[in-house]
Amino acid sequence: MNEIERARQREALADRLRAVINGPHVLSSPQELKPYECDGLAAYRVVPLLVVLPGSTEEVKATLRICHAEGIAVVARGAGTGLSGGALPHEDGILLSLARLNRIVSIEPDNCCARVQPGVRNLAISEAAKPHGLYYAPDPSSQIACSIGGNVAENAGGVHCLKYGLTVNNLLGVEMITIEGERVTLGGGGLDGPGYDLLALITGSEGMLGIVVEVMVKLLPIPQRAQVALAAFDEVETAGRAVADIIAAGILPAGLEMMDNPSLRAAEDFVHAGYPTDAAAILLCEVDGGNEEVSEDIAKVRQRLLDSGASEVRTADDDTERARFWAGRKAAFPAVGRISPDYYCMDGTIPRKHLPHVLSEIARYSEESGLRVANVFHAGDGNLHPLILYDANNPGELELAEEVGGRILELCVEVGGTITGEHGVGLEKINQMCAQFPPEELQMFHDVKAVFDPKGLLNPGKAIPTLNRCAEFGAMHVKAGDLRFPHLERF
Amino acid sequence: MADRDIAQELAEQVLDAAGRRQPLRLEGLNSKDFYGHAVQGEPLQLGGHSGITSYEPTELVMTARAGTPIAEIEAALAANGQMLAFEPPSFAGEASIGGAVASGLGGPRRPWGGAPRDLLLGMTLLDGQGRILRFGGQVMKNVAGYDLSRLMAGALGTLGALLEVSIKVLPAPVVERSLVLNLSRDRALQLMRELARQPAPLSGACHLDDQLHLRLSGNAASVAAWEKQIGGDTGDGDDFWHQLRNHGLVFFESERPLWRLSLPPVTARLDCEQQTLTDWAGSQRWIYSSCGAMEIRDEVAKIGGHAILFRHGDGKTPVFHPLDSVRERLHRGLKQTFDPQGILNPGRQYASI
C-alpha cells in the first residue's frame, strides 16, 4: 500500500470509528500514534494505523464490529508494560487501548471478590480492598503500573505464586467481547462456571481470542504477618539444594527468590540492601500467615538454611529491614540497567533440580559470546530470569544478545521446562515456540484460535508461529531432548 | 496396580473408531459413571493405562497415567508428607486420576486448595483422530501457547482422552483439626463470611443439620490459636470430611434428584431449596428440591451461579446448566477442533458436543 492510499484508508476508518467513540479518543496523527509504537519490549517498534481508546463496553463492541466487518486487525493493550512484545501494534491494524476502562466496579468483601475493568492497575485492586482486610495476591514486579487486563492476557505471576498461584488461579470470571462484537461471560459468581473451562483458556491467551472488558478477581485476607530470611551461599549449587531442602521440610514459602553474584552485586550497589557481595548466591525466603504460624515457620526455615550449608542466615528484625531485604530483589532489573546500557530479560522455567546445569551452561554461553549474564530466579517455582547485558550502540550486539537468549530458552526446553513462565510469547519468543511444540500441537493452537477468531484479526502474528515459520527455524528444532539435526552447529 | 503403558493401543482404537464414526464411551475406574448423560458407544478403557511415571517430592510435581488409582497416588504422596490439594472424590468406588481431572470435581478443600484445573500443570491427550498431543508441562509456571490442558479439566472426555497428567502437589499440613459448632444456617454463613476475611487456616467449612463443621489445617501453633478463638467441639474429626468428600453422609442417601449449585458464597436461602448441605464456605450447595429444573436454573442464574443435576435425574432433563448462544458456539467449535468425528463421549455433557 502506498502512503497516499494508506492515509486515505486511515482517515476513512477513523471517521467510521469516531462515529461510535465519544470524545477525542480515536488517534490518527503521527505524533499521537508514536507513543504506542512499542510496549515494555522497546527493541520492537511498529506504528499502528490508528489508536482507539474506548470509554465503555459498548464502544469496545462497536469498535470490534467495525473491525470485524472491514477485516481490520486489532491489537489490545493494557498499560503497555509487557516484556514480550505482545502489545506491539500491527501496521495495518488498530491498537485498542483499554486504559480508559479503569473503574473499580465493586469490591464485595463478603464474597471476597472484586469486579474491575481491565485498565485498573494491579496494585490499585489491593489498595481498594485493604480497608476490608483483603488483597489481590498475584504481584508481578510491574504491579504499580501494569493493568489487570494485561495480567489476564499474560497469566501474570509474581514473587508469591508458589503459594498463591498465578492470575489463572485468582480469577472468578471475565466478561469478554468476541471479535464479532458479542458479549460473553466466562466463569461466574461461584468457583466454577458451566461447561468447558473457557476462563482458563482465555487466561494467558495474549489478546488472541477476545477482548476482556471486566474481570472478577478473588480477594484473600491480608496475612497478619510476613517474615523473611536472607541466606548467603558460597556456591550456587548449595543454594539450589537449600531450596529443595526447604520444600522437603514441608514448608510452602510465600516467596523464595535466588540471585546470583552479578545480580546481587548490581542490586547492592544500587539500593544498599545490605547483601553480602562476596556470596556466590543469596536466597530470600519469606513465610506469611498468622503470627504463631510465621514464628514457627521462620525458625524452621532458618535451621534448614543453616543445615543446607548457608554461610550466613539473617532474619529481618522488623518490617523496615524486611522491606530492605526485598528492595534489592525488587530493584534487580533496574540495578542491572545501571551497569549496562541495555539488557535483555529471559523468562524460562525449568524443573528446579536442573538449576546447577542450566546456570553452568548459561555461564558458558556468556563466556563464548562475551556478553555478561546476571541471573534472578523465582527459585520456588523454577522460573529463571537471566538478564543478558549488551550495548545496542555496538553493531551486532543486540542480535548476539537475542541469539544467546534463544539458546538459553532452548536449553530450558531441553531440560523439560518452558520458554516462558510469566512474560508470554508475544513476538519475542515466537521462534522458540517451534522448539517447544511439534507441528501437530501448533496446528491445534491455530485451530483453537480459529474457533474464537475465524478471520484471524485479533493480535495476528503473535504467540503461535505459523508452521512455515517453524520450518525455516527448523534447523534449531529440539524435541524431547534430542537435537533434530545434531550435525548442525548451533550458535 | 500394574504399571502399564497402553497409549499406543488406545490411540489405535480411537483411530479405528474415527474411521468408522463409531462413538466411544470413555471409562476410567467407573466411580463417576453416574455423572452426566449416558453415552452409547464402544468402551475406551483408560483404567488399564496406569502407573506413576514420575514423582520428585522436592519438585512438587507428580506425573501419572490416567488410570492410576487416586488411592495409589495419595499413598505415594503421604509417604513424603504431601497431598493432592483438590481432594478428588472417589464416591463409592475406586477412582482414577484421569477421571478426577476429566470430571473437574474438587473436594471440601476446594476454596482454599483449588480445583483440579488449578493444580494441573500439563497433560498428554489423545484427540478424536487418535493423535497423541502434549500440552502444558511439568513446571509450575508455563505460559507458552494456549492453556489447552486446563481446558480439559471438567470437559468429561468430550475433547480428548487424558493419557497422562502432571499435577502440582503440596505439602500436607502438619496438623489438622475438626470443629463442630451448633449454628443455624444463617448464623453459620455469617461466621463463614467473617472467617473468610481473616487469615484463618481453614481447609473446610460445611453446614448441615444446624451444625457448622470447620476444618483447620496448618502448623501446630496456628491451628491451636484458631481452635481456641473459634471454639466448638471436635465432632467426628476426619471421618466427617472423608464422608463429605465421597458423598457417604446420610444426606446423600436419598434417591431424589440431587442438585449441585455453584453460587457466590453470600447467597441467602433460595426459594428452591428444601434440604440443603452447604459446602465450600457457601459457594457449593447440594439441594433436594420439589421445584422444576427450569425454576432452579433460573433462580441460580440470576445471581451468577449455575446448577447441575448431579444424581438421580430422569435421563431427559439436561444434567448441565444450558449455555447461552455464544458459549454454545464456542463449545461446538472446540469439539469440532479436537474431535471432528464427534466420537468421544458424545452427549455426555451437552447434546451438541
Q: How many CB atoms lie within 10 A of CB A386?
A: 27
Q: Say yes or no for a CB contact (<8 Å) between B147 and A203.
A: yes
Q: Say yes or no for a CB contact (<8 Å) between A437 and B145.
A: yes
Identity of the residue numbered A155 = N
Q: Given this model, what pLDDT does residue B324 score?
A: 96
Question: Tell me: the pLDDT tens digits for A364-398?
Answer: 999 999 999 999 999 988 999 999 999 999 999 99
Task: Answer yes or no: pTM beyond 0.90.
Answer: yes
Alpha-helical regions (H) of B246-350:
293-302, 325-338
Q: Given this model, what pLDDT does residue B237 score?
A: 80
Q: Per the structure block, which three cell numbers stand in for A70?
A: 472491514
Q: What are phi and psi of B277, to 5 degrees?
A: -115, 120
Q: What are phi and psi of B17, to 5 degrees?
A: -65, -35
CATH topology of domain A104-221: 3.30.465
* Whether the Cβ atoms of residue A393 and residue A407 lie closer than 8 Å to each other: no
Is-same-fold flag (A3-97; A335-483)? Answer: no
Q: Looking at B227-294, which runs of residues are DSSP E strands?
A: 258-262, 275-279, 284-288
Partner residue opposite A189 with nearest CB, options B111, B131, B264: B264
CATH architecture for the domain at A3-97: 2-Layer Sandwich (3.30)
Q: How far apart are the C-alpha atoms of B74 and A288, rounded to whole Å?
A: 27
Which candidate, A233, A244, A240, A174, places its Cα nearest to that of A209?
A174
The secondary structure element, H or E, covering residue B83 is: strand B82-83
Residue B261 has pLDDT above 80, yes or no: yes
Burial class of residue A19 (count of CB atoms within 10 Å of its CB; 0-12, 13-18, 19+): exposed
Q: Given this model, what pLDDT does residue A217 score?
A: 98
Question: Tell me: the pLDDT tens digits for B196-253?
Answer: 888 899 999 999 999 999 999 998 999 999 999 999 998 778 899 999 999 999 999 9
Q: Per the structure block, which three cell numbers stand in for B258?
A: 440431587
Alpha-helical regions (H) of chain B:
7-20, 70-78, 97-103, 110-113, 116-119, 148-152, 185-196, 220-230, 238-245, 293-302, 325-338
Please compute the mean of the pLDDT values over residues B264-293 and round it to a whole number.
95
Q: How far apart are the C-alpha atoms of B17 and A75, rounded to whole Å?
A: 41
Q: Given this model, what pLDDT does residue A1 score?
A: 65
At a CB cut-off of 8 Å and minimum separation 6, what does B215 contact? B108, B176, B177, B178, B179, B202, B203, B204, B205, B241
CA atoms within 13 A on the CB side of A186: 29
The segments of chain A whose pLDDT lies below 50 read: 476-491
The single residue listed with the C-alpha cell 532458618 is A302
Partner residue opposite A178 with nearest CB, options B133, B321, B326: B326
Q: In Å, how far is B149's CA from the nearest CA of chain A?
A: 9
At a CB cut-off of 8 Å and minimum separation 6, what does A124 contact? A104
Partner residue opposite A290 with nearest CB, options B58, B141, B199: B199
| Strands A383-390 and A373-378, bridge-based pairing | antiparallel
Residues of chain B with C-beta less than 8 angstroms from the C-beta of A378: 141
Q: How far apart are the C-alpha atoms of A144 and A191, rounded to whole Å?
A: 28
Q: What's CA B303's distance to the chain center, in Å?
A: 22
The single residue listed with the C-alpha cell 458424545 is B346
Q: Given this model, what pLDDT does residue A188 score?
A: 84
Q: What is the dihedral of CA A302, A305, A310, A312, to 10 degrees?
A: -10
Q: Per the structure block, which three cell numbers stand in for B185?
A: 444456617
Q: How many CB atoms lie within 10 A of CB B180?
A: 16
Partner residue opposite A350 with nearest CB, options B57, B60, B139: B139
CATH topology of domain A335-483: Alpha-Beta Plaits (3.30.70)
Residues of chain B with C-beta less than 8 angstroms from the C-beta of A185: 324
Give the domain ranges of chain A: 3-97, 104-221, 225-250+260-330, 335-483
Angle, CA of A262, A267 and A268, to the nearest 5°: 100
Q: Say yes or no for a CB contact (<8 Å) between B326 and A182.
A: yes
A485: helix, coil or strand? coil
* Whether the Cβ atoms of residue B309 and residue B272 lie closer than 8 Å to each other: no
Residues of chain B with C-beta less than 8 angstroms from the C-beta of A186: 327
Q: Say yes or no for a CB contact (<8 Å) between B144 and A247.
A: no
Q: Given this model, what pLDDT does residue A330 score?
A: 86
Q: In Å, how far is B144's CA from the nearest CA of chain A?
A: 6
Q: Per the structure block, which three cell numbers stand in for B131?
A: 493423535
CATH architecture for the domain at A225-250+260-330: 2-Layer Sandwich (3.30)
Q: Per the structure block, which three cell numbers stand in for A77?
A: 493493550
Q: What is the dihedral of CA A345, A350, A352, A358, to 10 degrees?
A: -70
Which candidate, A209, A442, A475, places its Cα nearest to that of B131?
A442
Q: Looking at A148-254, which runs of residues are DSSP E strands?
A: 171-177, 183-187, 211-218, 220-221, 225-233
At a CB cut-off of 8 Å and minimum separation 6, what does A303 contact? none
